[in-house]
Chains A and B, each alone.
Chain A
Amino acid sequence: MIAPVPIALTVNHERVEALVLPRLNLADFLRDHLSLTGTHVGCEHGVCGACTVRVNGDIVRSCLILAIQAENATVETIEGLSDSGEIADLQSAFHQRNALQCGFCTPAMLMAAQDLLLTNPDPDRDQIREHLSGNYCRCTGYHAIVDAVESTAHARLERAG
């Protein structure tokens, strides 16, 4: 019998301590242990992108990381990014442009889009598509998502002067 292991990490700026089984992946830890169900599980083999979160500032697939590997890490989920206001403009652009339908891909799509905009503030449509191409959306056909990311980039550039 394999025993649970203690871990300590920071999730959305809160210190979290928990006992986890080694096999528990970060997505399931966030969802089942912390009730942060905005991180979605779509394939569990790292392809659909729905479980994308930030670990130590980098976007990663949380289904491909063990919770135990996040020891001492800083994890940010969609709930955290929403509460901090960091992506409020991006969320608003998605809303205005109807860049989400069922919403299941949306938290991860926002994560990936914000990641792009942090590193490339003025991406063209092809670059947006390329950066988001690890995130599957079955509803929108992507066009509206690309529009929303593009308009957010333009608005941020304008604000930055």
Chain B
Amino acid sequence: MTPGMQTAGLSPLDRPNSYIGKAVPRPNLERLLEGRGQYVSDITLPRMVHAVFVRSPHAHARIVGIDVTEAKTMSGVIAVVTGAELAKVITPWVGVLSHLKGLKSAPQHAIAVDRACWQGEAVAAVLATSRALAEDAAEHVVVEYEPLPVVTNVRTALDPATPIIHAELGDNLAFERKIDAGAVDDAFKRSDKIVDVEFIFGRHTGVTLEPRSIVADWAPGDRRMTVYLGNQAPHMVQNIVAKHLDLEEAQVRVLCKDVGGSFGVKVHIYADEMATCALSKLLRRPVKFVADRVESFNTDIHARDHICRGRIGVSHDGTINVFEIDDLTGVGPYSMYPRTSAVEANQVIILIGGPYTTPNYRGRTRVVFQNKNVMSQYRGVGHPIACSITEGLVDLAAQAIGMDPVEIRRRNMVRDDAYPCDSPTGLKFEALSHHASLDKLVAMMRYDDLRAEQVKLRKQGIYRGIGIASFIEVTNPGAAFYGVGGARISSQDGVAVRLDAAGTVICQTSVTEQGQGSESMTAQIVASAIGVSMEKVRVILGDTDNTPYGGGTWASRGTGIAGEAALQAAKVLRGNILATAAAILQGKPDDFDIVDGMIVDAHGQQRIELNELTRIAYFRPDTLPPGFQPELMATRHYVPRQYPFAFTNGVQASWLEVDVITGKVKLLKHWVVEDCGTIINPQLVDEQIRGGVVQGLGAALFEHCIYDETGQLTNANMADYLVPMATEMPDIEVGHQISPTLESELGAKGAGEAGAAGAAACVSNAVNDALSPFGVTITEIPLTPRLILTALGRI
């Protein structure tokens, strides 16, 4: 590569044939629209067997013995494997990261060896020629358990009288972090009003429509493991599978084709998935495991489930002087591997008060072990909790001093011209737009008209409420998230682009697609940067053998990080194409441009098509000037270095009606204004926002993993775990502010989690607003009719 070629002939991205900022339809969707996608559950391989896991019915029990005699004789059964047997081919792991100081956990096995620590933990595997036959045999695996004392209540998990789940750890405390910034006690003293409440967040889960699915294919002849997995981070999986199965990474290929929903649920690698890989190695044949829905509820990561005391001190003039929280969460018996189960709590404690100038903040969060399913990162990680606490406290403070909720926010949010600046917790903000976003939201929703309508309807006994929630969102994480803690989870992404002989662009990227539009985003950037139509760009992703090394799609990082890598790679290729054009046309690269797949000269005159250029480059290089070698493939990698995260911001509003007779909440309308920097495809951003909002609305009103005191998940099916359905969801209007990050040329920040971040907070605030004539405040979600009727004193 000749220095100087890289930027030769670059045109700005907003030139007429650019796709940047255009709402073009995602390419290659016909496959999914016609039911011709390939999800892991669709994959069948020769000699493939089906794995079914025998799972502990107890939340905590010693495994005294496992009798597989009868099961092994049953029709279609290939093998029955216990944890102890599997442990010979797969090593256990401990889900800690060194930068989460003090985080501890115990070794976890792919299949429990001598003790089951939550209801649903696998204790044996049955492999048979069909899932049904494997299930038949699993019913005949006889496991003798000795029930052990169960820890379920997080409030008492640290009491001396409570049994310790992992004796070697000394207590049930997995992680604790404290922050003390400014002068908290003084700030409370000089506050005119102090609000002190407890917030409760239900435990919920991702409920991807396609359950977790894996086909592991150990090919003894090749000494290679091919893993077909619905996952967001294939290179992470490659590393973990190799590490624990005593393989070189090069022996493991991870393929992520179509994925039926991910949302963080599928950014992890689960014990049963690791077991499936080990079983394939053990049996020397392909093994498929598709979780059924009950297993999904019992073993897909859960999230939220925080109890948090929050205090806010405010002056009569609306100045918010101080925030204080004391947060507690239970994360199951193990910290999830390799991303850990401390990140949500860590995000909560650092994000409190995010949009505000308030310099005084004290926080503590504690993460405890318990005998329930594991918790870990799910869409929005910590944001919905931090936002609900912050915005709940701000609304209550406004109520305490008799100020309008919009006004108190305007008086306290960081000014739009104050950037760059740091938060009291040390977060570095490059450029946010809280005020402009709030102004836009207020206009979109016609705030004053709604307030007038609210007053009018109240007189008729109709109780409507408005809830507002501002938020900041962590996107584009650099190495600070995982790499510095010792996890081999890449924060950089790589993109390779090449011009093929037919003049088409092949683009390999390390991000993955689960419907966000990674493929579209990549194609739009590459097509724009090179100067070809999107139809000429084919994007390959989700294959560790065939993409550059990189992180994948999670933490709202795909566009901001891999998009920039795509831009830079495409620019290099463009320069190389122009150098080739110059060689063919006997000019200088700067004299030419690429417009819609055609080399044009400085006068806009069309000179040669790209497929003519490639014909010469690939088949008639003898006609090129001596010493000139066309390089029609380029790779670039990118990771943000200046800021550990690219913060985005936004604000949401909910307009709803509470039926004070039935306790039902009807969502009437929802608005979002968000600022993710440069927008590549506004339609895709809007739909990410809407999808995230509805996940937040589900959390606010419906979703709840309900455990009893013995650690049994009592609603592990889709009839009893209520997900948001179409009838109950509102239309959602989305607006944008654009504050690009200057760290990258593209200027894009993430948008994947903004919807989830603020939706529940708005609904809580709106319900409390609606119920204000009754003097009722509810700081718990989900806001069920039962909760509301109870608060109203009706039941």
Partner-B contacts on A (CB < 8 A): 1, 21, 23-24, 31-32, 36-45, 47-48, 50, 77-79, 82, 91, 94-98, 100-107, 110, 125-126, 128-130, 132-146
Minimum CB–CB distance for A26 against chain B, Å: 15
Minimum CB–CB distance for B215 against chain A, Å: 14
Residue of A42, A48, A130 contacting most chain B CB atoms (<10 Å): A42
The answer to whether B34 touches A79, judged by C-beta atoms less than 8 angstroms apart, is yes
Partner-A contacts on B (CB < 8 A): 25-26, 29-39, 41-42, 44, 75, 132, 206-211, 258-263, 292-293, 514-517, 683-684, 687, 690-695, 717-719, 723-729, 731-732, 755
Minimum CB–CB distance for B518 against chain A, Å: 11
The answer to whether B208 touches A98, judged by C-beta atoms less than 8 angstroms apart, is no
Residue of B207, B725, B729 contacting most chain A CB atoms (<10 Å): B725
Known: A102-B515, A137-B209, A143-B731. A132 touches B726 (CB 8 A): yes
The answer to whether B34 touches A50, judged by C-beta atoms less than 8 angstroms apart, is no
Measured in the bound complex, the distance between the Cα atoms of B694 and A145 in whole Å is 13
Among A31, A102, A129, A136, contact of B723 (Cβ-Cβ < 8 Å):
A136
The answer to whether B260 touches A91, judged by C-beta atoms less than 8 angstroms apart, is no
The answer to whether B25 touches A129, judged by C-beta atoms less than 8 angstroms apart, is no
Instruction: Jot down 7 A-B pairs with beta carbons below 8 A, ordered by A.
Output: A37-B35, A102-B260, A104-B208, A106-B35, A107-B34, A135-B726, A144-B687
Minimum CB–CB distance for A111 against chain B, Å: 10
* CB closest residue in chain A, given B684: A98
Residues of A within 8 A of B726 (CB): 128-130, 132-133, 135, 137, 142, 145-146
Among B36, B262, B691, contact of A79 (Cβ-Cβ < 8 Å):
B36
Given known contacts A1-B75, A42-B209, A47-B717, what 18 new A-B pairs fall within 8 Å (CB)? A37-B38, A40-B209, A40-B260, A45-B719, A47-B718, A101-B517, A102-B258, A103-B29, A104-B208, A105-B209, A106-B33, A107-B35, A133-B725, A135-B725, A136-B207, A138-B208, A140-B694, A141-B692
Minimum CB–CB distance for B441 against chain A, Å: 17
Known: A40-B260, A43-B718, A103-B29. A138 touches B207 (CB 8 A): yes
| A interface: dominant SS | loop
4 nearest A-B residue pairs (beta carbon): A38-B35, A103-B32, A101-B515, A104-B260
* CB closest residue in chain A, given B692: A141
Minimum CB–CB distance for B30 against chain A, Å: 7
Among B39, B263, B727, B731, contact of A104 (Cβ-Cβ < 8 Å):
B39
Measured in the bound complex, the distance between the Cα atoms of B351 and A137 in whole Å is 29
Minimum CB–CB distance for A149 against chain B, Å: 10
Residue of A24, A45, A79, A139 contacting most chain B CB atoms (<10 Å): A139
Minimum CB–CB distance for B169 against chain A, Å: 35
Residues of A within 8 A of B293 (CB): 42-45, 48
Residues of B within 8 A of A128 (CB): 726
The answer to whether A101 touches B691, judged by C-beta atoms less than 8 angstroms apart, is yes
The answer to whether A37 touches B209, judged by C-beta atoms less than 8 angstroms apart, is no
The answer to whether B727 touches A106, judged by C-beta atoms less than 8 angstroms apart, is no
* CB closest residue in chain B, given A38: B35
* CB closest residue in chain A, given B206: A138
Residue of A42, A79, A103, A144 contacting most chain B CB atoms (<10 Å): A103
Known: A82-B34, A141-B693, A143-B732. A130 touches B727 (CB 8 A): yes
Minimum CB–CB distance for A44 against chain B, Å: 6
| B interface: dominant SS | loop
Minimum CB–CB distance for B404 against chain A, Å: 29
Minimum CB–CB distance for B296 against chain A, Å: 9
Minimum CB–CB distance for A82 against chain B, Å: 4
Known: A42-B210, A47-B718, A48-B209. A141 touches B33 (CB 8 A): no
Measured in the bound complex, the distance between the Cα atoms of B514 and A138 in whole Å is 12
The answer to whether A40 touches B727, judged by C-beta atoms less than 8 angstroms apart, is no
Residues of A within 8 A of B258 (CB): 102-104
Residues of B within 8 A of A125 (CB): 731
The answer to whether B209 touches A102, judged by C-beta atoms less than 8 angstroms apart, is yes
Residue of A48, A100, A128, A143 contacting most chain B CB atoms (<10 Å): A143
The answer to whether B691 touches A78, judged by C-beta atoms less than 8 angstroms apart, is no
Residues of A within 8 A of B44 (CB): 32
The answer to whether B729 touches A104, judged by C-beta atoms less than 8 angstroms apart, is no
Residues of B within 8 A of A106 (CB): 32-33, 35
* CB closest residue in chain A, given B718: A47
Among B31, B38, B732, contact of A141 (Cβ-Cβ < 8 Å):
B732
The answer to whether A95 touches B687, judged by C-beta atoms less than 8 angstroms apart, is no
Among B34, B514, B690, contact of A140 (Cβ-Cβ < 8 Å):
B690
Measured in the bound complex, the distance between the Cα atoms of B39 and A106 in whole Å is 13
Measured in the bound complex, the distance between the Cα atoms of B725 and A129 in whole Å is 8
Residues of B within 8 A of A130 (CB): 726-727
The answer to whether B209 touches A136, judged by C-beta atoms less than 8 angstroms apart, is yes
* CB closest residue in chain A, given B131: A28
Known: A91-B33, A136-B209. A102 touches B42 (CB 8 A): no
The answer to whether B209 touches A98, judged by C-beta atoms less than 8 angstroms apart, is no
* CB closest residue in chain B, given A90: B33
Minimum CB–CB distance for B353 against chain A, Å: 28
The answer to whether A45 touches B718, judged by C-beta atoms less than 8 angstroms apart, is yes
Measured in the bound complex, the distance between the Cα atoms of B37 and A79 in whole Å is 11
Minimum CB–CB distance for A14 against chain B, Å: 16
The answer to whether B262 touches A143, judged by C-beta atoms less than 8 angstroms apart, is no
The answer to whether B719 touches A41, judged by C-beta atoms less than 8 angstroms apart, is no
The answer to whether A100 touches B32, judged by C-beta atoms less than 8 angstroms apart, is yes
The answer to whether B25 touches A95, judged by C-beta atoms less than 8 angstroms apart, is yes
* CB closest residue in chain B, given A131: B726
Residues of B within 8 A of A45 (CB): 293, 717-719
* CB closest residue in chain B, given A103: B32
The answer to whether A103 touches B729, judged by C-beta atoms less than 8 angstroms apart, is no
The answer to whether A136 touches B29, judged by C-beta atoms less than 8 angstroms apart, is no
Measured in the bound complex, the distance between the Cα atoms of B39 and A12 in whole Å is 22
Residue of A24, A91, A96, A136 contacting most chain B CB atoms (<10 Å): A136
Residues of B within 8 A of A82 (CB): 33-36
Residues of A within 8 A of B41 (CB): 37, 40-41
* CB closest residue in chain A, given B38: A37
Measured in the bound complex, the distance between the Cα atoms of B42 and A50 in whole Å is 14
* CB closest residue in chain B, given A140: B691
The answer to whether A103 touches B717, judged by C-beta atoms less than 8 angstroms apart, is no
Minimum CB–CB distance for A96 against chain B, Å: 5
Measured in the bound complex, the distance between the Cα atoms of B725 and A130 in whole Å is 9
The answer to whether B29 touches A100, judged by C-beta atoms less than 8 angstroms apart, is yes
Measured in the bound complex, the distance between the Cα atoms of B29 and A43 in whole Å is 24
Measured in the bound complex, the distance between the Cα atoms of B728 and A119 in whole Å is 22
Known: A100-B515, A125-B731, A144-B687. A94 touches B209 (CB 8 A): no
The answer to whether A95 touches B29, judged by C-beta atoms less than 8 angstroms apart, is yes
The answer to whether A98 touches B261, judged by C-beta atoms less than 8 angstroms apart, is no
The answer to whether A44 touches B292, judged by C-beta atoms less than 8 angstroms apart, is yes
Residues of B within 8 A of A94 (CB): 33
Known: A45-B293, A102-B210, A138-B723. A39 touches B260 (CB 8 A): no
Known: A42-B293, A102-B514. A141 touches B29 (CB 8 A): no
Measured in the bound complex, the distance between the Cα atoms of B731 and A81 in whole Å is 29
Residues of B within 8 A of A138 (CB): 206-209, 261, 263, 691, 695, 723
The answer to whether B732 touches A103, judged by C-beta atoms less than 8 angstroms apart, is no
Measured in the bound complex, the distance between the Cα atoms of B690 and A50 in whole Å is 21
Residues of B within 8 A of A47 (CB): 717-719
The answer to whether A40 touches B39, judged by C-beta atoms less than 8 angstroms apart, is yes
